[in-house]
Amino acid sequence: MHVFGDGEATINLLSADGHPELIWADEMKRNDVRRAMTIMARRAGQTKSVAKSEAARVNGSKGGRPRKAAS
């Protein structure tokens, strides 16, 4: 993903650990890079996988999230 502002940066959204990874940034302030990384991390966390969708469907058919056990 290319990010443009006062400079530009390239961010890898498909890194091995699942978090966005800064590839390079040119002529961007550190705060602008941090803000771009925060936005990309938020966007990456919103994606839904097939497994997550299926689990939500199964839980919904069972009546929703199970209640916590009394301790």
Number of domains in the chain: 1
Domain range for residue 54? 2-61
pTM score, two decimals? 0.51
H or E segment and range at residue 9: strand 8-12
The pLDDT score that the predictor gives to residue 33 is 86
6 lies in some domain: yes
18 lies in some domain: yes
The pLDDT score that the predictor gives to residue 19 is 74
Closest CA to 19 of 46, 57, 45, 49: 45
38 lies in some domain: yes
12 lies in some domain: yes
70 lies in some domain: no
67 lies in some domain: no
Question: Within the chain, which residues score under 70 in pLDDT?
Answer: 1, 45-48, 71
21 lies in some domain: yes
